[in-house]
Amino acid sequence: MKHVRVDPAHPDPEVILEAARAIAADGIVAYPTDTLYGLAVNPRSPSAIERLFALKDRPSERAIPLIADRRASARAAVEWTPEADRLADCCWPGPLTLVLRAKPGLVPAMLGADATVAVRVPDSEVACALAAASGGLITATSANPSGRPATADPAHIVPLATRGLDVLLDGGMSPGGPPSTIVDLTAGAPRLVRAGEVGWERVLEFLGLRPPP
């Protein structure tokens, strides 16, 4: 495993490019986000997704979320909706993840039921730069084996080298705190999948479904 220091506020473009090259070669890169550390692979490569499932020992029925560098990259990967636009206006970049139907091109094994995928644009210079250098999208699953706690501490990620991690972009402690809120927009009315940093009441307000107090 290559362990590389990165400035979370001003990541060196050469460091990001080197990590993106690893992703292009079906490698696995750990990186800091605006919440916890994540694991990035190419979501359009079946072999990369297979390696990611193996590293995490993740059940095959568990979907893998995505990070996009900007809204346009997310729109290119999913069937966008007006509700998604409203929430992106209010909460991106930031800790709100939207579940939408995937367009062709993403590896089917990483998708959820009915070919859905979760995506967000984070408030993280490193994560967005890495996604931009990797074609606009990277995976965003937490940097831990399944069933173990997600982490904000890069020191806890180093042992993943024995499980197949290729690069650790070490930006020091990430902000931590609650994970991103996950909202499903595929079934008409929005549905809360996971409570997180953005409160459900705020989501409903942003969508005009509940008046502000």
- Mean pLDDT, the chain cut into blocks of 10 residues (213 residues total): 97 98 98 96 97 91 93 97 96 97 96 94 98 98 92 96 96 93 93 94 90 55
Q: 117 phi and psi, to 5 degrees?
A: -145, 145
Give the span between the Cα atoms of 51 and 5, in whole angstroms: 24
| Domain coordinates in residue numbering, the chain | 2-176
Tell me the per-residue pLDDT of 167-193, one tens digit each, with 9 for 90 and over.
999 999 999 988 899 999 998 899 999
Assign 57 to helix, strand or coil: coil
Predicted structure pTM score? 0.94
Q: Cα separation of 134 and 23, whole Å?
A: 7
Nearest to 165 by CA among 31, 5, 61: 31
The yes or no reply on domain 2-176 and CATH 3.40.50.300 is no
* pLDDT at residue 187 in the model: 87
